[in-house]
Amino acid sequence: MDEETANPDQRMQRLIIERNRKMAASAHAYVRGSTARFYEWLEASDRIVLPEGPEIWICGDCHAGNLGPVANTAGALAIQIRDFDQTVIGNPAHDLIRLGLFLAMAARGSDLPGITTVRILERMIEGYEAAFAPEAQGETTDAVADMPKIVKSAMRLAAGRSWKHLADERIEGVEPTIPLGKRFWPLTKEEREGVNELFAEDGLHRLITSLRSRGDKSRLRVMDAAYWQKGCSSLGRLRIAVLVAIDKGKAERHCLMDIKETIAPTAPRSSSADMPKNNGERVVTGARNLSPLLGGRMIQARLLKKSVFVRELLPQDLKLEIEQVAQD
């Protein structure tokens, strides 16, 4: 077995070490991985009272790495939120402050002057306000030509990607296996049996066959599955990658599914809002309200008595990488 591979009884120790390493690597990584501390800091800080926005679904962890191109089952592509672990019905000011902190850290990490940080935050607020213009009608008012270069580049890259690109990035090729090593670790027998049972359910069949290129009666089979050491703030939760075959013979195609455990959010929630108590249902409901392209590709489920959500990873799903920013 690869020396970087962790046996199930070694997972938590290895995950804690990896999380600390990631968060210590850069200020950006620390901001991304310290959601709970962000809200603790916000609550304890000596600040003016936050404006009370309407009680709506918010991301709860809105930073640039959780934004990016996503596709729906019909192939439409848009920039939307792509992570909903912390989604709640709450105050939208929390999303703006979280995103503003990330952008300010990006400016500081790029050695840009303070006035540039101010201008970045002004543009963020202008963009938020633009959604309330009468002509917006719930849709983005930005044409691709008007997008910032980094966003335009991500959209063009996403539009040209295929299954091979996704397979090369995630599982190091198109072979029908998930390679064990630094990123993927072996499952227990109980976990593997749980995955097989989950993918025999009708809900998973409908999810996988919902893409327009697949038939409703396509046959599915689990080819391989592994524990996925991925993320930062979510390290330590159950996370499983599942490689699924669709149909057989010359018609056989593959897809990569992501199973992620959900837990109670740390983002402040409205005390009066009617929000799902089941965390898997909460995540999926928030996704469908905030990012319908992605939310329509997710379902909630239970695996080994744990609340999880399941989604298919598409080649077009990318995150915005903003580690360094130029002054312009």
Q: How many domains does the chain have?
A: 1
Is the predicted pLDDT of residue 111 greater than 90, yes or no?
A: no
| pLDDT band (50, 70, 90) for residue 109 | confident
Q: Is residue 318 part of a domain?
A: no
CA–CA separation, 249 and 269 (whole Å): 50
* φ and ψ of 116, to 5 deg: -70, -40
* 47: exposed, middle or buried (Cβ count in 10 Å: 0-12, 13-18, 19+): exposed
Mean per-residue pLDDT over the chain, rounded:
86
Is the predicted pLDDT of residue 108 greater than 70, yes or no?
A: yes
Q: Is residue 288 part of a domain?
A: yes
Q: What is the pLDDT of residues 127-182, one digit of tens each?
A: 888 888 877 665 554 556 677 788 888 899 999 999 999 999 999 887 889 999 88
State whether residue 58 is helix, strand or coil: strand
Q: What is the pLDDT of residues 89-103, one digit of tens each?
A: 999 999 999 999 988
Kindly state the tokens that stand for 299: 């379902």
Q: What is the pLDDT of residues 184-219, one digit of tens each?
A: 999 999 999 999 999 999 999 999 988 877 777 888
* 202: exposed, middle or buried (Cβ count in 10 Å: 0-12, 13-18, 19+): exposed
Is the predicted pLDDT of residue 244 greater than 50, yes or no?
A: yes
Q: Is residue 207 part of a domain?
A: yes
The DSSP bridge partners found for residue 89 are 57
Q: Is residue 3 part of a domain?
A: no
Q: Is residue 222 part of a domain?
A: yes
Place of tokens 């970045």: 120
Provide the pLDDT for residue 141. Answer: 46
Q: Domain range for residue 169?
A: 8-313
Which has the higher per-residue pLDDT, 41 or 278?
278
Q: Is residue 1 part of a domain?
A: no
Percent above pLDDT 70 for the chain? 87
CA–CA separation, 78 and 90 (whole Å): 24
Specify the pTM: 0.86
Kindly state the tokens that stand for 141: 């008012």
Q: Is residue 262 part of a domain?
A: yes
Please name which of 263, 273, 271, 285 lies closest in space to residue 56, comparing C-alpha atoms: 273
Q: Lowest mean pLDDT: which of 119-128, 227-236, 246-255, 314-323? A: 227-236
Is the predicted pLDDT of residue 300 greater than 60, yes or no?
A: yes
Percent above pLDDT 90 for the chain? 51
DSSP 264: -
Strands (E), 3-110: 56-58, 67-71, 77-81, 88-90
Provide the pLDDT for residue 305. Answer: 93
DSSP 56: E
Q: Is residue 327 part of a domain?
A: no
* φ and ψ of 6, to 5 deg: -105, 130
Is the predicted pLDDT of residue 240 greater than 70, yes or no?
A: yes
Q: Lowest mean pLDDT: which of 26-40, 100-114, 313-327? A: 26-40
- Half-sphere exposure for 82 (CA within 13 Å, toward CB): 23
Kindly state the tokens that stand for 134: 């009468």
